[in-house]
Amino acid sequence: MARRGKVLSGSGRRGIPSAGALVSREAFRVLSGVSERELAIWEHEELLAPARVVEFDGRREMLYAPEALRRARLIRTLAEELEVNLPGIDIILNLLDQMNR
Q: Is the pLDDT of residue 4 over 90?
A: no
Taking the C-alpha atoms of residue 9 and residue 7, their distance in angstroms, rounded to an integer, is: 6
Q: What is the CATH number of the domain that holds 12?
A: 1.10.1660.10
- The pLDDT score that the predictor gives to residue 18 is 42
Counted domains in the chain: 1
- The pLDDT score that the predictor gives to residue 49 is 96
Residue-wise pLDDT for 19-57, tens only, equals 579 999 999 999 999 999 999 999 999 999 999 999 989
Residue-wise pLDDT for 56-101, tens only, equals 899 999 999 999 999 999 999 999 999 999 999 999 999 999 999 8
- The pLDDT score that the predictor gives to residue 15 is 37
Residue 6 pLDDT grade (very low, low, confident, very high; cuts 50, 70, 90): very low
3-state DSSP call for residue 19? Answer: coil
- The pLDDT score that the predictor gives to residue 19 is 53
Q: What is the largest CA-CA distance in the chain?
A: 47
Q: Confirm whether 1 is domain-assigned.
A: no
Residues of the domain holding 49: 6-99
Q: What single string gives the DSSP state of each residue in 20-72?
A: S--EEHHHHHHHHT--HHHHHHHHHTTS---SEEEEETTEEEEEE-HHHHHHH
